[in-house]
A and B are shown apart, each in its own frame.
Chain A
């Protein structure tokens, strides 16, 4: 082997090993642990957490009859405190009819169009966020189990590959920041591990509640790549991989983040 080839190979191995570093399960840290005391206090108190306003709105929507079927969510699912407990912790979940994973937002819209015979709600609309945060709030404090279904394996792998894939003009992968450089700072803000355990979450920067897909799209835009549309298979796979990566972490929905 020529010396130049050996150096190239060594560099390749070096880059490869540092790039593929995964965070061990026990060292998973919620975005909460990267925040300042003021923002933590805001999340901890349900009367100061603005996400709880959306939970209240979601509860009203849960009990509201609508669509050609004139049915409310509660007509089939009853009290969400019982029936929706732990549901968000296992989403995105595999849908047998579609043969692919669906997110909680997609599930809510499928229920609306198929069972209630109502119109689907647009992504990031107030009502869709309110319903999904109300459902996800019922899983608060429960461990994430998404991705356990063996049928989801190829989709988790697709999401993992996307997480490791460099893209955009900055040529960065999710893993470059959120696996290799978390706890450092980017323009003064802490880099987190990118754990998805508090969505939909209230971001002070957004001045509203937002979904994990919104967060992913703004990160993808941040590395100057073209973000996939809401509900695109790539985003769902990435969301699924992130949830499976955070296996066992406690849900915090609605989280407050800076």
Chain B
């Protein structure tokens, strides 16, 4: 499974706006490049990212070839209840990786 780095505040007050930052390792090969022998290098990118907060989808992103390698995403949500954030990345060639992080809401 690919390495991931997740930054979710461990604690928050109810109603706080919190920032979630994620980073995952992936080469994000565009499919437009060629080798020295002029063969096309086939596309290999992450195509979708989802974040669930206690089972409810709160953020989704579709990825395209112009996204950099090792993509970094930052987004915001409202801390409603203690629980778990689950992250999932899906991509070409059956790529799939998951991560999770917990938050305590007071």
Contacts and interface: CB of A to CB of B under 8 A. Distances in A.
A56 interface: yes
Contacts of A48: 5, 7, 21, 23, 72, 74
A227 B32 CA distance: 28
A221 interface: no
Nearest to B69: A207
Contacts of A204: 68
Interface in A174-225: 204, 207-208
Contact of B23 (A50, A57, A207, A208): A50
Interface of B: 3-7, 21, 23-25, 27-28, 68-70, 72, 74
A51 to B, nearest CB: 9
Interface of A: 42, 45-48, 50, 52-54, 56-57, 204, 207-208
B7 A53 contact: no
Given A50-B23, A53-B23, A53-B25, A45 B70 contact: no
Contacts of A45: 7, 21
Contact of A57 (B21, B25, B74): B25
Nearest to B72: A48
Given A47-B21, A48-B21, A50-B23, A208 B3 contact: no
Nearest to B6: A47
21 contacts: A45-B7, A45-B21, A46-B5, A47-B21, A48-B5, A48-B72, A48-B74, A50-B23, A50-B69, A52-B5, A53-B4, A53-B23, A53-B24, A53-B25, A54-B3, A56-B5, A57-B25, A207-B27, A207-B28, A208-B69, A208-B70
A45 B69 CA distance: 18
Contacts of B68: 204, 207
Interface centre among B5, B7, B27 (most CB of A within 10 A): B5
